Amino acid sequence: MKRRDLLKAGGIAGILAAAQFPLIRGVFAQDRYAKYRGQTVVMNVPAHPHYDAMAKILPDFTAETGIKVEIDKIAIGRMKDKQLLEMAKPQGDYDAVCYIVMWKGEYVKKNLVEELEPYFKNAALADPNYDINDIVKGYLENLGLVGGKKGYLPGPGAKLYGLPYGAETSVLAYRKDLFEKHGFKAPATYDDLQKILAPLKAKSGIGALTSRGQAGHQCVHAWLLHLNPLGGEVFDENWNPAFTRKPGIDALKLLKEISDTGPAGIPGYGQGEMINAFLQGQAAMYLDSILIMGQVNDPSKSKIVGNVGYALHPKGVRYASQSGGLGLAIPKNAKNKDAAFLLLQWLTSKAADIKVTKAGGNATRMSTLNNADILKQFPDFEILKEQLKYVEPDWRPIIAEWDEINIQALGVAVSEALTGKKTPEEALNGIVPKVTDIMKRGGYLKG
């Protein structure tokens, strides 16, 4: 059946039949975009490898839809202030914003971002082929849902406010060459990990495991990476501080040991320095975001091309890898909300997800991770597919108060333990009153 025959046929049957043909489907897709042709979607994104990759595929979006995209790229650390200021105005400058997972609860609580379900239910906007169930479940729940269990997990009341874009989990990367040369095996458990730290440093002559350590968010992120597999949690079911229990202390003691046996200067390392130490051959292992996968084999950034193997984030009392990263949302005060939704939908579609992954971004969909071309280009994605089974959606409490606890309480305590100013017990116990106070102020605890 030719295209013109289908068009002649008309009616619902014809439309359904036409939808089976890419060319005709393209005509309907263009209709969806026609109303918004010429509009400009202003998007606030961070300086981040995933969004650098996104910038490479945006011309395709404009060519396909006629909608222009203007990028406002700023340092990730300054993004929230700027977004809050913009979204507090009657009409903001941004039509779409990239957010870090920790901010989702606060943005929803302050009524700053749009719920996305009405857009997906709008036949004039929604792509009938958009398969939301193909998005990695842990990513979608972690970055998109607000209002369910604990306020940020799936469950009754949970609604979709954002889509994962630049989401990530953690994975262990290690120097195959050094491990082979000195007779080490990639650690499968936390016991194995702890046991090889000192001998690995002694034999390889470089730091054993690189890690973040800078005061604030960075060192807390590093501590959380170990807290979860060791069976710990920040709060108990009743929102009382639980980080001073044994797993919390053990995770901090381990982090101190990692710092002492790692490349020099870990208590000052942000994410960049942490990655750089591994890429420049100053550390034998890396246990953090999958962001590393796009960089190890890039000769312009890495001195360890071809020498890196991957393994699952080691098991403690359980497997529990990081859930987090970045997502996209539409501000309530956006000027071009529909066009912004079309952009979000396009970016997170199956085809665009493959494109952005090929360009060096993070895959968001299972279909991308199962794509033969992608697996040929990134054979290490096999381990990522396995790792995604163990993404812990409750990796950290994504409540509006988390930023303050993260940076001004835990971020100081963990840092002080890393420099040896306080013991892990002193450091964590010392901030219980402050954290309790914050939780009382937020209404989670009485008093």
Binding mask 104-143 for other proteins (x = CB under 8 A): --xx--x-x-------------------------------
Indicate whether 47 belongs to the interface with other proteins (CB under 8 A): no
Round to whole Å and give the CA distance between 163 and 62. 20
* Count of CA atoms in the C-beta half-sphere (13 A) of 392: 24
**Terminal Cα distance for the chain, rounded:** 72
Closest approach, Cβ 441 to other proteins, in A, equals 9
Q: Among 3-11, 212-220, 302-310, 358-366, which window interacts with other proteins (CB under 8 A)?
A: 212-220
Closest approach, Cβ 214 to other proteins, in A, equals 6
Q: Which amino acid is at 336?
A: N
Q: How many residues does the chain have?
A: 447
Binding mask 49-88 for other proteins (x = CB under 8 A): ----------------------------x--xx--xx-xx
Which pair of tokens denotes residue 196? 């090889």
Indicate whether 418 belongs to the interface with other proteins (CB under 8 A): yes
Q: Which of 403, 424, 428, 435 binds other proteins (CB under 8 A)?
A: 403
Chain-centroid distance of CA 288 in Å reads 11
Q: Are 320 and 228 in contact (CB under 8 A)?
A: yes
Neighbours of 11 (CB within 10 A): 8
Q: Which of 352, 366, 384, 412 binds other proteins (CB under 8 A)?
A: 412
Q: Which of residues 2-41 bind other proteins (CB under 8 A)?
A: none
Q: Among 50-58, 180-188, 354-362, 400-408, which window interacts with other proteins (CB under 8 A)?
A: 400-408
* Count of CA atoms in the C-beta half-sphere (13 A) of 41: 30
Task: Indicate the residue among 110 and 246 with the shorter CB distance to other proteins.
Answer: 110
Say which DSSP state 123 is in: T
Cβ-based burial of 236 (10 A; exposed 0-12, middle 13-18, buried ≥19): exposed
Indicate whether 415 belongs to the interface with other proteins (CB under 8 A): yes
How far, in Å, are 244, 306, 421 from residue 367 at the CA level?
Answer: 41, 26, 48
Task: Indicate the residue among 217 and 365 with the shorter CB distance to other proteins.
Answer: 217
How far, in Å, are 56, 167, 210 from residue 322 at the CA level?
Answer: 27, 10, 17
Q: Which of 147, 213, 314, 316 binds other proteins (CB under 8 A)?
A: 213
Q: Among 63-71, 144-152, 367-375, 410-418, which window interacts with other proteins (CB under 8 A)?
A: 410-418
Task: Indicate the residue among 164 and 411 with the shorter CB distance to other proteins.
Answer: 411
Indicate whether 245 belongs to the interface with other proteins (CB under 8 A): no
User: Interhelix angle for 337-347 vs 350-358, to 10°?
Assistant: 70
DSSP string, 7-72: HHH-HHHHHHHHTTSHHHHHHHHHHHHHTTTT-EEEEEEES-HHHHHHHHHHHHHHHHH--EEEEE
Q: Among 145-153, 209-217, 249-257, 376-384, which window interacts with other proteins (CB under 8 A)?
A: 209-217
Round to whole Å and give the CA distance between 93 and 73. 13
Which pair of tokens denotes residue 212? 């973040």
Q: Which of residues 264-283 bind other proteins (CB under 8 A)?
A: 264-269, 273, 276-277, 280, 282
Q: Among 20-28, 47-55, 233-241, 263-271, which window interacts with other proteins (CB under 8 A)?
A: 263-271
Task: Indicate the residue among 3 and 110 with the shorter CB distance to other proteins.
Answer: 110
Indicate whether 419 belongs to the interface with other proteins (CB under 8 A): yes
Task: Indicate the residue among 194 and 415 with the shorter CB distance to other proteins.
Answer: 415
Task: Indicate the residue among 34 and 75 with the shorter CB distance to other proteins.
Answer: 75
Give the footprint of other proteins on this chain (CB under 8 A): 77, 80-81, 84-85, 87-88, 106-107, 110, 112, 213-216, 218-219, 263-269, 273, 276-277, 280, 282, 400, 403-404, 407-408, 411-412, 415-416, 418-419, 421
